[in-house]
Amino acid sequence: MNKETKLRIHNITAIAALKFGSEAWVLKKREEQRLEAAQMKFLRHLLVITKLDKEMNQCIRGKTGAQNIVKEIKQHQVKWPQHVQRMDTNRIPKQVLQYKPKGRRNIE
């Protein structure tokens, strides 16, 4: 299987799995590091590069044309509220975003 086909499969499966549900995430530094590590593990395996080869992450991303997964997630999070605002009012994400509770809280 050639590199382009492997990259297309990677973009369809691995990136989608890593980004699933990321609209509501609040990423901490450790979580960002783990996401980047997972992405680099996929890319290293794709190019048959081991850690012993001591290839820098930027070089691997350059060879594959992949963007940093954390940057992709943050861009996706910025676009999500705009996407929800364009939805019909009967859609659940828009209803959740616009929800205002009625009444007062019972504090005892």
pLDDT of 96: 87
C-beta separation of 32 from 68 below 8 A: no
Domain membership flag for residue 79: yes
Domain assignment present for 108: no
Residue 91: pLDDT band (50, 70, 90) is very high
Confirm if 42 and 14 have CB atoms less than 8 A apart.
yes
Assigned domain for 106 exists: no
Q: Is residue 107 part of a domain?
A: no
pTM of the predicted structure, to 2 decimals = 0.76
Would 69 be classed as within a structural domain? yes
Q: Is residue 105 part of a domain?
A: no
In a domain, 104, yes or no: no
Predicted pLDDT at 69: 92
**How many Cβ atoms are within 10 Å of 79's Cβ, its own excluded?**
11
First to last CA, the chain: 66
Split into its structural domains, the chain has a count of 1
How many C-beta atoms surround the C-beta of residue 13 within 10 A?
A: 11
User: 43: burial class by Cβ within 10 Å (0-12, 13-18, 19+)?
Assistant: buried
103 located within any domain: no
Domain coverage including residue 68: 3-98
